[in-house]
A and B are shown apart, each in its own frame.
Chain A
């Protein structure tokens, strides 16, 4: 099957281009636009029939025109196995919400997985562009182009006063959520993040764990994104977010430097202990793996650990998620089995680097 690589490859092609701008701390950038199609009821309260019609109409219209944005492939959620869906979530190609209502939902993906269009999520369309490092402008321009293309083929629900109409009024206006995923171990260790967070919230921005709303912060990875969607233009939202993220990045760099000066041995000890545990342990939970990987990644960034690629964090964070482990095992796993497999995957991956 042509779409096999969406499930078998942990690292999306767009991630393989290397670390990207500010790549020591900013791992990836994402822009998501929520759009609905005129005349159709919004997905949350739509009847089965209306949802089916919308799915057919939207995906066939977009697929027919897809050569203009590079070839797109459609995956219908109800045709996938549960762990294949889970893998798509872990790769951030679909939202957890999309795989909860699988009967009439789909995702259109391009080849390098930098574009994903979810159909019948909370809104009819969720257009999403991903890129590595901190690339808000570039990523927005890409999303803007994708949006223009979709809009040339479908008529959006748009109000001249309120903007793009969305199922949840917290998205009305631009319908845009821009977010940057950052790795902030030093700010967490030094307890500075908890002081920075309220300031970030006051600026109308939100900080979440890596799998979005309500998810826990695993491995010191955080998504910083805009909350407000009405009253500010897309460019201003992005500019404000960029400013704040850059400041957070500077602070993280600063915290790393002062840790190196004030408690180098302690820092090295922690980093190398984690490294040792990852290299030799026989069973490991998702949470522990994430925290140890975060330590090792920090060690790589600070040049304490040499000869290992920094990508190991991104890659192993994905490979050790439950969906991926099951995908590789080819069967469903109990918690215990998954923990054993997780430790195996990590050990083998680290051996490859040596």
Chain B
């Protein structure tokens, strides 16, 4: 069978579409099928719900939701002209460009768009707005030490719960030394 679309290559994809009771049969070659219906192909796939609509799409939608009906008010926008569009003064990216792509232009964008981004973080990261994980050692020494201290305190609780008192005592001494160092450093600055 020859592809219905290009009439040249042999058809390798055969499918039947039923829309409101009307049945259509399609016979396409791989290439035409790709062109025509990347979407219809994925519609049937198992992953479409999770995969087709990416997290970036979701983000983009969330961001646009935050700008109430700018489209409808396009004509009335004139009086607001004095209000320069929200722009990152480091890289020049506008907030609007960001909402289109879901990508920021530079590290400074996080500060430039902070007021808009915080509610988005809440939604995307389950209400969290603060990082609690790893801290780079060499530029953020103080915070790194602080996190290390917190981690050790967490461990000590686990050790006590498991009644491993000897190990807990060792860790306590370690924590004390670290705390002293830490306070010493605080005093310096």
Stretch from B49-57, B156-164, B169-177 contacting the other chain: B49-57
Other 16 A-B pairs with CB < 8 A, given A152-B138, A174-B133, A231-B128: A41-B106, A45-B91, A45-B105, A165-B107, A168-B59, A168-B104, A197-B50, A214-B52, A215-B51, A217-B45, A228-B128, A229-B125, A231-B127, A231-B129, A232-B128, A233-B134
Bound form: Cα–Cα A227–B139 in Å:
27
Stretch from B15-23, B72-80, B116-124 contacting the other chain: B116-124
Which residue on B lies nearest to A220, using beta carbons? B46
Q: Are B133 and A173 in contact (CB under 8 A)?
A: yes
Which residue on B lies nearest to A234, using beta carbons? B133
Q: Closest approach, in angstroms, between the C-beta of B85 and any C-beta of chain A?
A: 16
Please provide the chain B residues from 166 to 187 with a CB less than 8 Å away from any CB of chain A in the complex.
Answer: none
Q: Is the interface of B mostly helix, strand, loop or mixed?
A: loop
- Number of CB contacts from chain A to chain B under 8 A: 160
- Which among A41, A122, A194, A231 is the interface contact of B126 at CB below 8 angstroms? A231
Q: Are B101 and A161 in contact (CB under 8 A)?
A: no
- Which among A206, A228, A335 is the interface contact of B12 at CB below 8 angstroms? A335
B110 at interface by CB-CB < 8 Å: yes
Q: Are B132 and A213 in contact (CB under 8 A)?
A: no
Q: Are B131 and A168 in contact (CB under 8 A)?
A: no
Q: Closest approach, in angstroms, between the C-beta of B141 and any C-beta of chain A?
A: 12
- Which among B31, B51, B105, B125 is the interface contact of A231 at CB below 8 angstroms? B125
Q: Are B133 and A163 in contact (CB under 8 A)?
A: yes
Bound form: Cα–Cα A62–B50 in Å:
36
Q: Closest approach, in angstroms, between the C-beta of B120 and any C-beta of chain A?
A: 6
B143 at interface by CB-CB < 8 Å: yes
A169 at interface by CB-CB < 8 Å: yes
Please provide the chain A residues from 190 to 241 with a CB less than 8 Å away from any CB of chain B in the complex.
Answer: 194, 197, 201, 204, 206-209, 213-217, 227-234, 237
Which residue on B lies nearest to A215, using beta carbons? B51
Q: Are B50 and A228 in contact (CB under 8 A)?
A: no
Bound form: Cα–Cα A233–B128 in Å:
12
Q: Are B30 and A45 in contact (CB under 8 A)?
A: no
B4 at interface by CB-CB < 8 Å: no
6 contacts between A and B (CB under 8 A): A42-B105, A45-B97, A160-B140, A188-B46, A208-B47, A216-B42
